């Protein structure tokens, strides 16, 4: 068995224009002060990271990691959640997602998609330059507007969407293979890869590509009423990254999974700071340890009630308290009788 690394913090929800969140030096010092040992980096945030330089320069990557280490944290992974979203966008979401892209490609879906692919490719190259073997992203979505089967979906609609999604991602996965980096899709509502079934539909279409893997985040499964513990056992060989995020689902006589178009604070299902929701993290960390997951436990803070800085500090301690330092020997070794093959046969009544 292996011990999970952590705690680490995804910086996307904290980066901003005010100190200490507006520079790589300051935010890594702050994260270390909160109790974190690692940070996951949003590759799109130029206040913290230069993706173009990182994709081309090992020296830049060494300096970037060196500054983090000097301040007390490691770089755990890079993320292209926003760029990955743009690899596949249904036209219904063109306007909503346009702001994720660089200004020069906004309003041009074809150019935006090409830009997104290039961004993810660069982030995978940057991961290689940093010596990081996992990369976090979203799959994007073409079929998501048709998730509820009303009106009746035309035959072949979903299959065509997943065929196209696989076609767009296959070159990226092949590039990841050449770089020795796992692409870890966060299984997330709003993406075509939003549960185990849809992940398998995609995986089949990329020929079970070795670099097609998962970022496991139980909060999204609570909101779908999916068995998030069983999920770990089913996909243990594909789960390469772990977001530690809490959630709660409290249906009423007025609303359930779909939320009634309410704001986050008024939804039946909502994200919470660690320990304030319903996720059984004791069971999750036990499963991860039993399944030899040796990646990072990365806090992704999202909560509709609590202040983010309070959530961050509490989250570091919460993860530290849940990480299981795995044992190197069986608890009953003290009672080992020291048998051999002959003794075993005798115990079974098999003679010599």
Distance between CA 38 and CA 69 in Å, rounded?
A: 9
Q: How far is CA 180 from the centre of its chain?
A: 18
Give the per-residue pLDDT at 343: 80
What's the total number of domains in the chain?
1
Tell me, yes or no, whether 352 lies in a domain: no
Give the per-residue pLDDT at 2: 87
Instruction: Name the nearest CA neighbour of 40 among 59, 18, 19, 15.
Output: 15
Give the per-residue pLDDT at 342: 83
Give the per-residue pLDDT at 129: 98
Distance between CA 133 and CA 181 in Å, rounded?
A: 4
Q: Phi and psi dihedrals of 211, rounded to 5? A: -90, 0
Q: What is the pTM (predicted TM-score) of this model?
A: 0.95
Q: Phi and psi dihedrals of 74, rounded to 5? A: -100, 155
| Residues across the chain | 352
Looking up residue 56, the CATH number of its domain turns out to be: 3.20.20.150
Token representation of residue 257: 């999974």
Instruction: Name the nearest CA neighbour of 243 among 1, 10, 3, 78.
Output: 10
Give the per-residue pLDDT at 328: 74
Task: Using the structure block, give the residue that is written with the tokens 């966008």.
Answer: 89
Distance between CA 188 and CA 228 in Å, rounded?
A: 13
Task: Using the structure block, give the residue that is written with the tokens 């499964």.
Answer: 221
Distance between CA 121 and CA 171 in Å, rounded?
A: 9
**Tens digits of pLDDT across the chain (352 residues):** 789 999 999 999 999 999 999 999 999 999 999 999 999 999 999 999 999 999 999 999 999 999 999 999 999 999 999 999 999 999 999 999 999 999 999 999 999 999 999 999 999 999 999 999 999 999 999 999 999 999 999 999 999 999 999 999 999 999 999 999 999 999 999 999 999 999 999 999 999 999 999 999 999 999 999 999 999 999 999 999 999 999 999 999 999 999 999 999 999 999 999 999 999 999 999 999 999 999 999 999 999 999 999 999 999 999 999 999 987 776 666 557 677 888 888 888 897 6
Give the per-residue pLDDT at 345: 83
Tell me, yes or no, whether 279 lies in a domain: yes
Tell me, yes or no, whether 261 lies in a domain: yes
Q: Which domain holds residue 307?
A: 5-347
Four-residue CA torsion sign, 91, 97, 102, 107: positive
Instruction: Name the nearest CA neighbour of 238 among 287, 262, 193, 203.
Output: 203
């Amino acid at each position: 068995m292996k011990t999970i690394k952590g705690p680490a913090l995804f910086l996307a929800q904290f980066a901003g224009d005010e100190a200490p969140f507006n520079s790589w030096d300051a935010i890594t010092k702050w994260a270390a002060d909160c109790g974190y040992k690692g940070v996951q980096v949003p590759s799109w945030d130029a206040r913290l990271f230069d993706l173009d330089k990182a994709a081309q320069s090992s020296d830049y990557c060494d300096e970037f990691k060196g500054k983090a280490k000097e301040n007390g944290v490691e770089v755990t992974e890079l993320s292209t959640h926003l760029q990955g979203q743009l690899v596949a966008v249904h036209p219904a979401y063109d306007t909503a997602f346009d702001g994720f892209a660089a200004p020069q490609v906004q309003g041009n879906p074809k150019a935006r998609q090409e830009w997104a692919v290039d961004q993810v490719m660069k982030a995978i190259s940057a991961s290689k330059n940093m010596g990081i073997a996992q990369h976090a992203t979203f799959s994007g979505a073409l079929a998501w507007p048709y998730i509820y089967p009303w009106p009746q979906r035309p035959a072949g609609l979903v299959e065509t969407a997943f065929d196209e999604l696989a076609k767009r991602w296959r070159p990226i996965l092949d590039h990841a293979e050449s770089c020795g980096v796992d692409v870890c899709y966060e299984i997330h509502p709003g993406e075509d890869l939003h549960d185990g079934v849809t992940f398998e539909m995609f995986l089949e279409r990329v020929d079970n590509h070795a670099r097609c893997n998962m970022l496991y985040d139980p909060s999204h499964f609570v909101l779908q009423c999916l068995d998030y513990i069983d999920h770990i056992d089913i996909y243990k060989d594909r789960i390469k990254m772990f977001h530690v995020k809490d959630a709660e689902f409290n249906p009423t006589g007025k609303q359930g999974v779909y939320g009634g178009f309410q704001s986050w604070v008024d939804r039946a299902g909502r994200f919470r700071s660690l320990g304030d929701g319903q996720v059984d993290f004791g069971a999750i960390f036990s499963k991860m340890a039993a399944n030899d997951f040796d990646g990072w436990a990365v806090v992704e803070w999202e909560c509709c009630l609590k202040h983010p800085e309070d959530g961050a500090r509490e989250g570091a301690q919460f993860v530290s308290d849940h990480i299981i330092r795995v044992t190197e020997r069986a608890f009953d070794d003290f009672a080992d009788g020291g048998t051999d093959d002959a003794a075993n046969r005798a115990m079974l009544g098999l003679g010599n």
